[in-house]
Amino acid sequence: MYFQENYSLKNLNSFGINVSAKYFTGFKNTNELVEILATANENKLILGGGSNILFTKNFNGLVLKNEIEGIEIIKEDEKYVYVKAGAGVGWHPFVLYCIENNFAGAENLSLIPGSVGASPMQNIGAYGVELKNIFYELEAFHINDKNLIVFTNKDCEFGYRESVFKNKFKGEFVITSVTFRLNKFPVFNTSYGAIETELQKMGVQSPSIKSISDAVISIRKSKLPDPKIIGNAGSFFKNPTIKNIDFENLKKEYPAIVGYAVGLEETKLAAGWLIEKAGFKGYRLNDAGCHEKQALVLVNYGNATGGEILHVSEKIINAVKLIFNVSLQREVNIM
């Protein structure tokens, strides 16, 4: 197995942070992964699409790029088709595959950056749909025990941008494949955000998987910067959840505050609204900043360091806490 030394990671993280790994290699199947793990004693970082990570320094160890490809139908019944994808498959290309084959369920998750393997780690979600809604099972390789384990939906303990792979089993497994349960008969979810408005603008009267995907793509492009042009990791913060009574108190002072009921006792706030009202929308510190169209997105305008972007995030967290007494949590992994 060939390891490259002092390897630049600038093109392998969506922020475009100019850092390097002491050693770097990739793996295209489980056998190659086993070989790498057997020969390397360095600290290890598994890298997928690099879209949910902020490097604040060089990585003093081995970075392994997950390059496991392949998409296949493993079974189907009257209602569902079960599609297995390699962890190295790009997420949006996978969604396009589903749309082309008329498999429903993933269309609201169009244009999310990253890879299939990273998608269950934080239970990606957008426009009223989360990964757990279409997830069936995954295979993950245990780094220490050197065996492949199957995780069901229940095993993953999915939460809001959470799973066992971000908490209980963080750093213990390498996800090698994910299997999705997709609908043969679509049940469209168009009530969230501006999907219905966008469909009307497109002149769509009878929604389809493709038209909903197109609407989501159009909305995302209008609000979110393209990482290929302006470095970013999408939403940098989670939408915080607070008690209903605290929400009502905030609403008295800020009548326009945005919130959505979560169960009977809690309300989920729009972090972007809080950040904008705190005065950070369009904020810039050297080449690090808060995007001018979407306050939830922190950006690298060219040559920002990870430390500068982290500093901006800390300023935002402190300001939101001071003004609203609400604690923001980062969605992005800090390295």
- List the catalytic residue out of 14, 177, 235, 313: 235
331 is known as an active-site residue: yes
Closest CA to 15 of 67, 52, 70: 52
Q: Residues 290, 280: contact at Cβ < 8 Å?
A: yes
Which two structure tokens, joined as six digits, stand for 233?
A: 């990791």
> What are the distances in angstroms from CA 24 to CA 7, 54, 171?
6, 18, 17
235 is known as an active-site residue: yes
Sheet strands side by side (includes 59-66) = 4-8, 20-27, 59-66, 44-47
- Name residue, tokens 């209008």: 222
Name the DSSP class of 303: S
- List the catalytic residue out of 107, 137, 308, 331: 331
- List the catalytic residue out of 14, 161, 198, 313: 161
330 is known as an active-site residue: no
Q: What values do phi and psi take at 70, rounded to 5?
A: 105, 135
What is the chain's alpha carbon radius of gyration, rounded to the nearest angstrom?
A: 20
Active site residues: 161, 235, 331
